[in-house]
Structure 1
Amino acid sequence: MTGKAHSFVRTFPAGPARELRVDQHYLLCASAGALRLEAEGQAWVLPPARAALIEAGRPIRVSIPRPVTTASVLFDAGFVPRPPAPLTVFDLSPLARALLAECGAWGEDEQPLTAYAETLFTALAAVTWRLAERPSPVMVPVGRSPELRRALRLTEERLGEDVRFTDLAARVGLAPRSLARRFSAETGMTWRAILRRMRLLRAIEELAAGDTPVTTIAFEVGYTSLSAFNAAFQELTGRTPTDYRASFRP
């Protein structure tokens, strides 16, 4: 599009991570399914109720664990203010989601925005820039060293199992105490805390993927008690799993 802003609505199949860097401010989100975003040593899951605001020129890595429909917007840097941070992930309000849906009618073509469309995109930027001032805590670190990144990958592959830290340390070739120090130094979190966070992020992906019962999801991600799963999920997100899933729907 010539100037200002445009919406990007498209369905993608599952695919591995790939690096993106765009020359416009990028409001990245999904309308169905979930995206995975990695940048600046952290990783997030983006279900329909959440968005990422990425400053122009900022590199990110995006992967698609299951088919997803995006509902994103690109803003020209001269049309809107600079985002409040280079990259922020936050929960969308009902107003933001309504504006995002309405902006979906203006895709990437050669026609200039109408006055009505320009007003919509301006309002969407105002609302989401404000929301970006309150980032979501629902993320996990990705680590710097090869050993820690491998430990995190192995942990993610075994979320539904009885994962043992000593076994994990042996797989990456480190003593348990050395691996524990790596977790503390590179992520600021313990392995147990990251395991818990990974399980909840996987649960968010499953909640966004369809209508699988919450109890089934809890057991699939490694919880043996529904009450423990519900309590951990609400502590992290501020909502029950059922309420969180309901927020995905307009």
Structure 2
Amino acid sequence: MTREAYSFVRTFPAEPARELRVDRHYLLCASAGTLRLEAQGQAWLLPPARAALIEAGRPIQVSIPQPVTTASVLFDPAFTAAPPSPLTVFDLDPLARALVGECAAWGESDEPLPAYARTMFAALAAVTWRLAERPSPVVVPAGRSPELRRALAATERLLGGEVTFEDIAAEVGLAPRSLARRFAQETGLTWQAVLRRMRVLRAVEELAGGDAPVTRIAYAVGYTSLSAFNTAFRDLTGRTPTQYRASFRP
């Protein structure tokens, strides 16, 4: 019998989206690089400072924009209570990151967990289940209709330049008023609000993926003012870009 909880540490190359579904509650983390998730009509980015808690049997789409090392943990549903929500993305605190690292010593095996390991996995579940009650606000809608999904894809492709709403509407073949209505109906957000979130998510990916200066990242994601970038980033994450980068560095 496979252990009631075990860690899964592995390095993956960049790869396109694929469906992931497991029969255990899944704490999905990246210890280096980033992961992209899509489910329930929304999309998230997971740098090392964030994690996703996924209920057993829940399907999600996972893509890897750059090589990534995961340090994830799988819990038998009989070992712990169901997560607070079917899928939650949240920021890891230092205690949770330390527990993920401690649990990495016990991988999948038919051997039972020693008492100390059971205590560590139980502590990790308690901490991350509590963190999952406060989901991260940095999320982008995925869209339901083909037109809105194309609009979102075009916005993401062009967000580093001087993209306008009229450009996006023309690319998907809708009048600006009609596309604005789609954004309101399907996402509850304006296009400008979605663009802002996409730029912050792209910045998070860059902050996690290397040591580029914050100013260079700000310009690369479409901001012409460092102060405007810092304000947008802090409004969505609660931290400055420098503080965010420091939060997932050793």
Secondary structure of the structure 1 residue equivalent to 2:233:
helix
Cα distance in 2, alignment partners of residues 184 and 204 from structure 1: 25
Aligned residue number for residue 9 of structure 2: 9
- Cα distance between partner residues in 1 of 2:203 and 2:166: 25
Tell me by how many angstroms 1:109 deviates: 2.4
Post-superposition offset of 1:164: 1.4
TM-score when normalising by structure 2: 0.98
| Equivalence for 2:147 | 147
> 2:218 maps to what in 1?
218
What is residue 191 of structure 2 aligned with on the other side? 191
How far 1:249 moved relative to its partner? 1.7
- Cα distance in 2 between the residues matched to 1:227 and 1:43: 26
Q: CA deviation at 1:112?
A: 1.6
- Which residues in structure 2 correspond to 1:95-114 (within 5 Å)? 95-114=95-114
Partner deviation per Cα, 1:140-170 (whole Å, 9 max, x = no partner): 1010000000000011001111001112111
Query: Residue 107 of structure 1: CA displacement?
Result: 1.1
Quote the residue 1:117 is aligned against. Answer: 117
Partner-residue secondary structure (3-state), 1:216: helix
Cα contact 2:18–2:63 (8 A) shared by 1: yes
Residue in 2 that maps onto 1:74:
74
Residue-by-residue CA offset, 1:32-68 (whole Å, 9 max, x unaligned) = 1111111100001111111110100111011100001
Q: Could you list the per-position Cα deviations for residues 226-245 of structure 1 after superposition, in whole angstroms to 9, with x for gaps in the alignment?
A: 01000110111110100100
Letter in 1 for 2:139: M
- Structure 2 residue aligned with 1:59: 59
| Counterpart Cα distance in 2 of 1:244 and 1:107 | 30
Displacement of 1:3: 3.1
Q: Aligned partners of 1:167 and 1:219: how far apart in 2?
A: 20
Post-superposition Cα deviations, 1:203-227, rounded to whole Å, max 9, x if no partner, equal 0000000101100000000000001
Task: Output the amino acid matched with 1:198.
Answer: M
Partner of 2:244: 244
**1: CA distance, partners of 2:166 / 2:21:** 39
Q: Secondary structure at the match of 2:111?
A: coil
Runs of 4+ in 1 over 2 A off after TM superposition: none
Partners of 2:18 and 2:61 within 8 A in 1: yes
| CA apart distance, 1:171 | 1.0
Deviations 1:103-128 (A, max 9, x none): 01111222221111111100000000
> Distance between the aligned counterparts of 2:249 and 2:6, measured in 1?
23
CA RMSD of superposed structures (Å): 0.8
Aligned-partner residue type, residue 218 of structure 1: A
CA contact (8 A) 2:138 2:236 kept: yes
Q: Which stretches in structure 1 are left out of the alignment for 5+ residues? A: none
Q: Which amino acid aligns with 1:224?
A: T
